[in-house]
């Protein structure tokens, strides 16, 4: 079975040094921007990592994404917007739900808010559930 990973789950896989679990699975091309922002926040705002560590994580992230199928939202904007409006979540989060639902696969996330909102539409798992 394949899964669709959001950025929080990919970040967890990187932190757990377990990117091999990402291989052959799916994510959205917007994940690249979300992950960049997560790493930027860890470095710039939260000061949990230094610049060298941020650059190292970016490289690992790029390597992790190369193991995955990266999907574009290709003309599904209306459906994504409907999901976002119905669930009162971001367009980004709604996109993951839309693709998990359309492919009939579980969404892997570490985002509690997304878990609660998405469970009525798709199967939700945490990273630890698949390792």
Q: Convert the pLDDT of each residue in 118-131 to its tens digit.
A: 998 999 999 999 98
- Structural domain tally of the chain? 1
User: What residues make up the domain containing 22?
Assistant: 4-129
Residue 75 confidence (pLDDT) = 82
> Residue 71: enclosing H or E segment and its boundaries?
strand 69-71
Rounded Cα distance between 70 and 54, Å, is 22
Asked if 96 contacts 73 with a C-beta cutoff of 8 angstroms, the reply is no
Rounded Cα distance between 35 and 23, Å, is 17
DSSP classification of residue 104: T
Q: Convert the pLDDT of each residue in 2-57 to its tens digit.
A: 999 999 999 899 989 999 999 999 999 999 999 899 899 999 999 999 999 999 99
Q: What is the pTM of this model?
A: 0.90
CATH number of the domain that 103 lies in?
3.40.50.1010
């Amino acid at each position: 079975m394949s899964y669709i990973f959001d950025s929080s789950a990919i970040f967890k896989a990187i932190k757990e040094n377990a990117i091999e679990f990402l291989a052959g699975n799916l994510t959205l091309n917007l994940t690249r921007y979300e992950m960049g922002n997560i790493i930027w926040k860890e470095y710039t705002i939260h000061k949990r990592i230094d610049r060298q560590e941020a650059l190292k994580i970016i490289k690992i992230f790029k390597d992790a994404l190369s193991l995955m199928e990266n999907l574009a939202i290709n003309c599904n904007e209306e459906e994504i917007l409907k999901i976002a409006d119905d669930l009162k979540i971001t367009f980004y989060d709604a996109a993951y739900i839309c693709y998990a639902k359309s492919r009939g696969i579980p969404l892997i996330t570490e985002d509690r808010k997304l878990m609660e909102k998405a469970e009525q539409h798709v199967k939700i798992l945490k990273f630890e559930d698949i390792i």
